[in-house]
Amino acid sequence: MKKRTLLFAGLLLLIGGLAASCGLSEKKITMTILYDNYIFKEGMRSDWGFSCLIEGFEKTILFDTGTSGDILFQNIDILNVDIHCVDLVVLSHIHNDHTGGLSAVLEKKHDVSVYFPISFPDHFSQEIRDQQATPIPVDEPIGICEHVYSTGEIEGSVNEQSLILDTDEGLVVITGCSHPGIVTILKRVKEILDKPIYLVFGGFHLMNHSDAQVREIIQEFESLGVEKCGATHCIGDTAIGLFKEAYGENYIPMGVGRVLQVSY
């Protein structure tokens, strides 16, 4: 009986090991803030702009590239990020604090596709080709790779696209500056994928909004069912405080060096 018990226990361990090796273990997406005007991890360098690396899907994605290639790569080096693993670059909008580091990225990694709103100037595509990368102008919502979507270009004071990650926890929405309005972006997200929104983070562009206006936006977040949020970059300290107050433990502090993980 003792031998049978030991044999059965050994068989369970073998099956468990095979399950893990066959990819049945939980998959994780890792999102790392590479560029921001706030610092999360000591030793990082802050600057006005935004960039986020998304790893764990079939493609590794760099969302926005900050203002300065030098600062971007200082942070990349400190975080031990391998830029050669990047498959796709997605640019939210035309402003330099989101596109300024692109040339430095393409100098080190040529064979990538660069997704950008279709309203970018005509010469932008040629500049990407000149660096041996592939330009992909985005108009309507599209799938970028499995589980990852663009909202498509949304019109606003500056036209912009945002990223949608479809995860087990719900949708994760990553924004650059939210020039068309963060609520407008979230409503577009719900039109594309009618699933619960687990997390929204990135720039919300609320620096010139009154406290009352920010509170109205927070109410819209709640009515749209946004579970967690992490506001940064162009939102302003006052608005960050209001989101922290409203979301409590579900507010996610952001900044350069912040690493987030979600299962899918």
Please give the average per-residue pLDDT across 42-56, as a whole number: 98
Which pLDDT score is estimated for 6?
34
Q: Are the C-beta atoms of residues 137 and 150 closer than 8 Å to each other?
A: no
pTM value? 0.90
Which pLDDT score is estimated for 21?
38
Residues 117-142 pLDDT 10s = 999 999 999 999 999 999 999 999 99
Per the structure block, which two tokens stand in for 4?
């049978």
Q: What's the CATH number for 26-263?
A: 3.60.15.10
Residue type, 183: V
Burial group, residue 246, by CB count within 10 angstroms (0-12, 13-18, 19+): middle
What are the residue ranges spanned by the domains of the chain?
A: 26-263
Please give the average per-residue pLDDT across 66-85, as a whole number: 97
Its sign, for the CA torsion 210, 219, 172, 79, is positive
Residues 11-30 pLDDT 10s = 333 333 433 333 444 689 99
Burial group, residue 10, by CB count within 10 angstroms (0-12, 13-18, 19+): exposed
- Strands (E) across 157-251 are located at 163-167, 170-175, 197-203, 228-232
Which pLDDT score is estimated for 158?
97
